[in-house]
Amino acid sequence: MRLRLGIDIACRAAHQASLADERGEFAWSGHRFRTTATDLERLWALLPAGTDPAMVTVIMEPTRNAWVPLAAWFRRRGAAVVMVPPERSADLRAYYSKHTKSDRLDSRILARLPLLHPEGLHTEEGLGPGDPLRRAVKLRSTLVRRRTATLARLDALLEILGPEWHAALGGDLANKTPLKFLAAGYACPHTVQRLGRARLARFLHRHSRGTWTEAKAEEPLAAAAATLQLWETDLEYPDLADDIAIEARLALAITQEVKELDERIAVLFARADPDGILRSVPGIGPILGAQILGRLGDPNRFTSLAGVRAFSGLVPRLDSSGVNGHHNGLTKAGDACLREALFMAAEHARRADPSLAAKYHRLMVTEGKHHNSALCHIATTLLTRIAACWRRGEHYTLHDPDGRPIDAPQARTIIAERYTIPADLRAARRTTHPHHSKSSGTGRRRKESQRAPSTGPSTAHATTPPA
Least confident of 99-108, 131-140, 265-274, 395-404: 99-108
Name the residue with higher pLDDT: 171 or 285. Answer: 285
The rounded mean pLDDT for the chain is: 84
Number of neighbouring beta carbons within 10 Å of residue 56: 20
For the chain, domain boundaries: 3-129, 136-261, 279-431
CA separation for the pair 355, 400 (Å, rounded): 7
Q: What number is the average pLDDT over the span 395-403?
A: 90
What CATH topology corresponds to 3-129? Nucleotidyltransferase; domain 5 (3.30.420)
Number of neighbouring beta carbons within 10 Å of residue 184: 16
Model confidence pLDDT, tens digit, residues 75-128: 999 999 988 876 665 666 665 555 455 666 677 777 777 766 665 566 666 677
Beta strand 26-33 pairing with 15-21? antiparallel
Nearest to 243 by CA among 353, 370, 376, 150: 150
DSSP 8-state code for residue 3:
E
What local confidence, expressed as pLDDT, does residue 465 receive?
52
Beta strand 15-21 pairing with 3-8? antiparallel
CA separation for the pair 287, 263 (Å, rounded): 10
